[in-house]
Amino acid sequence: MNIILLGPPGAGKGTQAAKLVDQRNMIQLSTGDMLREAKSSGTEMGNKVAAIMDAGQLVTDEIVIGLIEEKLAGDHAGGFIFDGFPRTLPQADALAALLAKHGAALDAVVELAVNDEVLVGRIVGRAEEARAAGKTARADDNEESLKVRLMEYYKKTSPLIGYYYAKGDLSSIDGLGEIDAVASAISGVLDK
């Protein structure tokens, strides 16, 4: 089963993907994780990714699609969870082509719908808690950076909601519920 988790930064896509990995033997393809991995690699590509991310912008489709294609070429018995990809309509088309090339298809698109003000409060609070506990918080988990990321998300990604709705693939659930309630709602969608 191949699914997309849609939702703005901090909506809980990573948390829910981790549950699906445990429960359904799926492989999480988090572009955020792949990009952070590339960013800290020190390679030429990594430095390019770092400069783009540090400016609060989204990396090019070519970079992201290349990273995903590498992962799709491996074993994928339990299927993939696309977390943070696609973000744009051209990426959605590229993903459909990549899946077809690998003899696979998209089974579901789950949107984690959220209230932006609650979301900003959640993420800024999460970063403050991490710092208070002596842990490292993401450098971009602050209100200003988050608002830039949300604006980018809505400008570029919101058309995907209509795109997948029109294809009959979209299921929207409340992403601000308790973690287990959100997980249960996602399971309900996948078990249809």
Closest CA to 169 of 123, 115, 109: 109
Q: CB burial class (10 A; 0-12, 13-18, 19+) of residue 70?
A: exposed
> What whole-number distance in Å separates Cα of residue 2 and Cα of residue 108?
7
* Residue 149 falls in the annotated catalytic set: yes
* Residue 36 falls in the annotated catalytic set: no
Which one of 24, 122, 126, 156 is the catalytic residue? 126
* Residue 131 falls in the annotated catalytic set: no
* Residue 87 falls in the annotated catalytic set: yes
DSSP 41: S
* Residue 24 falls in the annotated catalytic set: no
The token pair that represents 41 in the structure block: 């690699």
Which one of 24, 36, 122, 138 is the catalytic residue? 138
Which one of 87, 122, 135, 167 is the catalytic residue? 87
Residues 141-166 as b/e (b if ≥16 CB within 10 A, e otherwise) read beeebbeebbebbeebbeebeebbee
Catalytic residues: 13, 87, 126, 138, 149
